[in-house]
Homo-oligomer: A and B are copies of this chain.
Amino acid sequence: MSGTSADGIDAALVQIAPGKPLPRLRLLHFRQTPFAAERRAEILACAGPPEGTVDRVCRLNAWLGEAFAEAALGCLREAGVSPQEVTLVGSHGQTLHHQPPGPGPAAPPATLQVGSPALIAERTGITTVADFRPRDMAAGGEGAPLTPIFHAALFRVPGRARVVLNLGGIANLTYLPEGAGTEGVLAFDIGPGNVLLDALAARVSGGAETCDRDGALAGRGRIAPTLLARLLLHPFLRRRPPKSTGRETFGPAFLEEILAWQEARGVTPPDLAATLTALTARAAFDAVTTFLPPGAADLLLCGGGAQNPALVKALAEACPTLRCLMTDEAGFPARAVEAAAFALLAYLTATGHPGNIPAVTGARAPVILGSITPGRTLPRLPLPEA
């Protein structure tokens, strides 16, 4: 997969075994492949009008298909596993557009992930499951988040309620009440994860940096309280879940808007970075206290932002009632969580099982997600009882 930050491809090699109520997973290998600067620029250009035209999107779809295939094969090479030993590829693709169902009829719900599954299947020879989001939206859902079923499979435990916080471009949270399976699981996007910080780092460095590496910028700054207060009034943060968002709402354009605010006057780049870091941390805590049942004990961090010490520190400070830890400490490496989730979703689809959680996405019903693009042959997998 590649996330909304479009900084590169994450590939996870996962062993999956049937299990009740959910399959069991083990990470065999993980590999990150950064995009070259011009490729990242092309992805971001294709993500909206006027630059994102059908011909460019179409070429990007083909180029990303090749790149995803190479990332998968590279991951297998490093792991010493041959493609013939692999049953399925699960490919999230690269989101270029995500318009969840709105309150009004203005814009119909629509979502687009690119990275040609036909190219992945042809280059790897492996049956490829992709395009997971459109089906949940067709069933009335937000099409996101889809990783909660993976969080439930990996991190849900008896006797202890947990929150998983994925710090991608957009940050999303999964609530796992004590127990097992998907019953009672809640999840939603909480707002900006790294996306505003990334945009700020790029702006400050004249494009040389794509993120606030190691939280260096934020680490030198101090929170601007009136600016933070205004940011926390953003209507998305207040909206009741289910809800999802994207770069359309919290992207570089929103950063430019912020910079023009009265409250941003005289705020230095390090102070702004500290404030945006605190925004994510406070949005997470507010979401936990406002929208979740009380009593969650652990806050498990994953995603790119979990590598940012300034953000992790801000979270620990903002969430004093929760024990903050990396998902690594709960049994699965933080940076591999998002990619591995799509391996589980691919397995569920190919074996005829729904992958969405209606209480999470707002869909009318559990549905089998995605499309199956055959590899050299169609894999023979156990289907659910008729």
Which positions in A face B, CB cutoff 8 Å? 46-50, 52-59, 61-63, 65, 96-97, 99, 107-112, 116-119, 121-123, 130-131, 134-135, 137-139, 349, 352, 367-368, 370-374, 377-378, 380, 383-384, 386
In the complex, what residues of B have CB within 8 A of residue A131's CB?
118, 371, 373
Partner of A138, one of B47, B58, B122, B135: B122
In the complex, what residues of B have CB within 8 A of residue A139's CB?
122
Q: Are A135 and B112 in contact (CB under 8 A)?
A: no
Q: Nearest CB to that of A59 among chain B residues?
A: B110
Q: Are A123 and B97 in contact (CB under 8 A)?
A: no
Q: Nearest CB to that of A99 among chain B residues?
A: B58
6 residue pairs from A and B, CB less than 8 Å apart? A52-B53, A61-B112, A123-B138, A130-B371, A352-B378, A371-B373
Taking the full assembly, how many copies of this chain does it contain? 2
Q: Are B118 and A371 in contact (CB under 8 A)?
A: yes
Q: Are A138 and B109 in contact (CB under 8 A)?
A: no
Whether A49 contacts B55 in the complex (CB less than 8 A), given A372-B371, A373-B371, A386-B377, comes out as: yes
In the complex, what residues of B have CB within 8 A of residue A54's CB?
46-49, 52-54, 57, 96-97, 112
Q: Are A134 and B110 in contact (CB under 8 A)?
A: no
Q: How far is the CA of A46 from the CA of B97 in the complex (A)?
A: 15
Looking at A107, A349, A372, the one whose CB has the most chain B CB atoms below 10 A away is A372
Q: Are A371 and B117 in contact (CB under 8 A)?
A: yes
Partner of A134, one of B56, B112, B116, B378: B116
In the complex, what residues of B have CB within 8 A of residue A99's CB?
55, 58-59
Partner of A118, one of B55, B122, B134, B380: B134
In the complex, what residues of B have CB within 8 A of residue A377's CB?
352, 368, 384, 386
Q: How far is the CA of A135 from the CA of B137 in the complex (A)?
A: 25
Q: How far is the CA of A159 from the CA of B136 in the complex (A)?
A: 52
Minimum-distance CB pairs A-B, first 7:
A49-B53, A118-B134, A52-B54, A122-B138, A371-B371, A118-B135, A368-B374
Whether A349 contacts B371 in the complex (CB less than 8 A), given A52-B54, A53-B54, A118-B131, comes out as: no
In the complex, what residues of B have CB within 8 A of residue A378's CB?
352, 368, 383
Q: How far is the CA of A121 from the CA of B349 in the complex (A)?
A: 14
Q: How far is the CA of A65 from the CA of B349 in the complex (A)?
A: 20
In the complex, what residues of B have CB within 8 A of residue A137's CB?
118
In the complex, what residues of B have CB within 8 A of residue A372's CB?
371-374
In the complex, what residues of B have CB within 8 A of residue A122's CB?
135, 138-139, 367
Q: Nearest CB to that of A352 among chain B residues?
A: B378
Q: Are A138 and B380 in contact (CB under 8 A)?
A: no
